[in-house]
Chains A and B, each alone.
Chain A
Amino acid sequence: MTRRVLIAVFQQDSDLLRAVAAVRAAGWKIDDVYAPYAVHGLDRALGWRPSRLSWVCAACGLAGAAFMLWFQQWTSAVSWPLNVGGKPWNSLPAFVPIIFEGMVLAAGLGTVLALFLVARLRPGKKTLPIVPGVFDDRFALVIEETDATFDAAAVSELLRNHHAVEIEERVWEADSCSTGAAGGAAGSRSRRRLNYLLLLVLIVLVAANMLVPRNQAQPNREFLPDMAHSPAYTSESANPNFADGETLQPPVLGTLAQGQRRLPYAATDADALLAGQELHNPLPAGQAGVRERGAVVFQNFCTPCHGGGGLGDGPVALRGYPAPPSLVTGNSTKMPDGQLFHIITYGRANMPPQAGLLSPEDRWAVILHIRSLQTPNTSIPAGTKP
């Protein structure tokens, strides 16, 4: 099926606007208008309803913002909680810049993609300008020659009165609406020549790069060396600013980690007895996984001195360090859970405090494991050496 159209070319946007109004008033059907830029008021003159792209833009923006909000909350508060500057994990002000950027990115890309979809455009699609110059300084008005009553002479007369500089009738195949006459051939040839030239340049550069000998022993040149070699002190480097000359300083006395509870005890035997009366193991002995966790903690942190069975025969003790008392016989079996917790937390005699290494839950879990070592009829979880 073929269509006959009449194409008028204008040099001023104001002429185009007036011609559109006149053509519509006369009742002829406008197929489309081509302009190098968005002409103010053209969509109203054409009687088109306002573009719905702004709704796409708003929806994409909201979706982008919502996704970024969720994503940051999930990464920083759920999946991998990380303490940054002592802020709560879920810190909205810190998320705002990314939410903003995510919104802008989603809105921008979404709008462009929607435009491409609606206009059936894609990168690399071959189109020719409907008339030469329509991308620069000319405006094309396409009128459809609908039926036999269409009087090309009358239309041309009207358009010439509105300063149309060219008027042309054309026959379109049904599927080549916006394809114009030849005229882009010269342009595409020069473009192809430019592409070949750029390919040649690329080949020469790669070849030159391979030909230049490279000394593997020599480090590459550093741009912005501050990025690789930070002027800041690292935690292990010497530091003249502190009295003890080290960068890594112990936390201020009384500092608590997030989520940590202060225990109202001192590191003395008397307070250990007190803790034995006051503290009780919050972990239920029968709960799945708790005793397994205790076994893992015992294996990793206690066996070096206490030995796998808690007899005080760990490799450290066998190599001359004062051996700890047995955990499975004597005094240890009579100590309540709270006293063991105090000893693990604050240390005792030659045992260093473990508070910095083990979370309170792990300390209670390892006590459960010690209890199961003390009562041999309790089965020891598989996979741990007795």
Chain B
Amino acid sequence: MNPKTAGRYVSPKAVRWLWTLAVLGGAAFVVGAALQPQRLWPNLLLVGFLSVGFGLGGLLLIAFHDLTGARWSSAFGCIREGMAATLPWAALAMAVILVAGLCSYPWSRTGALTEETAWFKRWWLEPGFFTARLVAYLAIWAVFAAAMVRASRRATALGGPTRAGARLSAAFLVVFSLTFWLASSDWIMSLQPDWYSTAFGVYNFSGVLLAAQAAVTLLTVALRAAGPLKNAVGRDQLHDLGTLLLSFSCFWMYIWFCQYMLIWYTNMPEETSHYASRVRGLWAPLFYANIVINWAIPFAVLLPRAAKTNAGTLVKISLLLLAGRWLDVYLMILPSINADASLIGFCEIGSMALAVGALGLLFLPALRKSLRLSPLG
């Protein structure tokens, strides 16, 4: 593609719009934090985790594309690359948020871990070790993001997958499955240090995957309408995107239920505590809405073939699923910290708008670069 025409598809209007969103969101967040300072850090953790997940989702989809030898999704490689390219910056922000918020974790107070198995948790959650680990996870992901985005762009320029790219992808999947499992346990599960679930890592993985697929679907439809992918994405590709959206939604529900049912069946106090605080009071409507938004509605809507090939339906379901991912993580974090306040106010909306604006502003230059390097035109 001609470098001059590439920029045309990413209009200055979009950039201005994203800046406005980020600035307004930031302002709302400051107001919210002044009103309710106890909601400041949980919301930062929430958007930090979601932003890192956005980049990791891009990397995951690059890896799947490379390793399955897929051709159908080659056309929107630029979207995966753009998502993954935001990861180093999101990782940096997440590192700052976590280090600054170390004292907000309940286990950082002495005497918080009283149960018999606490010797391991005390050792594992030692602040120095915790910090070293989080830096390691984020650094590893940032390095993978840089390398895999470059390999993916090279593959697009060469017109096919490269062996080096496939090797990198395979290595990433192995490293990711270990580090992400540990990271989600470290950062989110330890907010309730007496509770544990061995399914927590894969549960978060299913959420990241679902949100990434929703983001790719949304951006594909948007870029198809805006221009760059107009001729490259047809009805069959939309059908495949819709099918994957449906199946990842079912996968999320499957894993959600795996975790829930074992805890419900075993009925052990140290395990049920997690759900006990979420199925009661003001959290209960959100708890059930989570299932409806992330699975029931997408499943019912996307089941017919016609819906999976309809761009408008795909956009609506993708937006719903992105909101659902936010709600899912919100329900993981907030009830563990503020057990009695389920309100969605300035803090929540502001932090999310800020994150969407910032991620968009990081995404667009990377997308532009990918488009410039690709033979699409």
Interface residues of A (CB under 8 A from B): 40-41, 50, 54, 58, 85-87, 93-94, 96-97
Not counting A86-B267, A93-B260, A93-B261, a sample of 15 additional A-B residue pairs whose C-beta atoms are within 8 angstroms of each other reads: A40-B236, A41-B236, A50-B305, A54-B305, A58-B303, A85-B265, A85-B267, A87-B265, A93-B264, A93-B265, A94-B261, A94-B265, A96-B257, A96-B261, A97-B261
Find chain B residues with CB under 8 A from A97 CB. 261
Find chain B residues with CB under 8 A from A54 CB. 305
Which residues of B251-279 are within 8 A (CB) of A? Answer: 257, 260-261, 264-265, 267
| Bound complex: CA A152 to CA B305 (Å) | 39
What 1/0 flags go to B298-309 for Cβ under 8 Å of A?
000001010000
Q: Which chain A residue lies CB-closest to B260?
A: A93
Find chain B residues with CB under 8 A from A86 CB. 267
Count the B residues whose beta carbon is within 8 Å of the partner chain — how many? 9
Q: Can you sample 14 A-B contacts with CB below 8 Å?
A: A41-B236, A50-B305, A54-B305, A58-B303, A85-B265, A85-B267, A86-B267, A87-B265, A93-B260, A93-B261, A93-B264, A94-B261, A94-B265, A96-B257
| Bound complex: CA A20 to CA B305 (Å) | 24
Find chain B residues with CB under 8 A from A58 CB. 303
Find chain A residues with CB under 8 A from B303 CB. 58
The smallest C-beta distance from B33 to any residue of chain A, in angstroms, reads 39
| Bound complex: CA A40 to CA B70 (Å) | 14
For A50, A58, A86, A93, the residue with the greatest tally of chain B CB atoms inside 10 Å of its CB is A93
| Bound complex: CA A314 to CA B305 (Å) | 77
Q: Which chain A residue lies CB-closest to B258?
A: A97
8 closest cross-chain pairs (CB), A and B: A93-B264, A93-B261, A40-B236, A96-B257, A50-B305, A41-B236, A85-B267, A94-B265
Q: Which chain A residue lies CB-closest to B264?
A: A93
| Bound complex: CA A97 to CA B236 (Å) | 33
Find chain B residues with CB under 8 A from A85 CB. 265, 267
| Bound complex: CA A54 to CA B305 (Å) | 9
| Bound complex: CA A241 to CA B261 (Å) | 30
| Bound complex: CA A41 to CA B240 (Å) | 13
Which residues of B272-305 are within 8 A (CB) of A? Answer: 303, 305
Find chain A residues with CB under 8 A from B264 CB. 93
| Bound complex: CA A58 to CA B300 (Å) | 12
| Bound complex: CA A41 to CA B239 (Å) | 12
| Bound complex: CA A58 to CA B305 (Å) | 12
| Bound complex: CA A348 to CA B303 (Å) | 68
| Bound complex: CA A50 to CA B264 (Å) | 43
| Bound complex: CA A86 to CA B266 (Å) | 10
The smallest C-beta distance from A232 to any residue of chain B, in angstroms, reads 16
The smallest C-beta distance from A97 to any residue of chain B, in angstroms, reads 7
Find chain B residues with CB under 8 A from A94 CB. 261, 265
The smallest C-beta distance from B233 to any residue of chain A, in angstroms, reads 14
| Bound complex: CA A93 to CA B265 (Å) | 8
The smallest C-beta distance from A354 to any residue of chain B, in angstroms, reads 32
| Bound complex: CA A58 to CA B246 (Å) | 15
The smallest C-beta distance from A266 to any residue of chain B, in angstroms, reads 32
| Bound complex: CA A307 to CA B260 (Å) | 56
Q: Which chain A residue lies CB-closest to B236?
A: A40
| Bound complex: CA A94 to CA B257 (Å) | 11
Find chain A residues with CB under 8 A from B305 CB. 50, 54
The smallest C-beta distance from B248 to any residue of chain A, in angstroms, reads 17
| Bound complex: CA A86 to CA B305 (Å) | 44
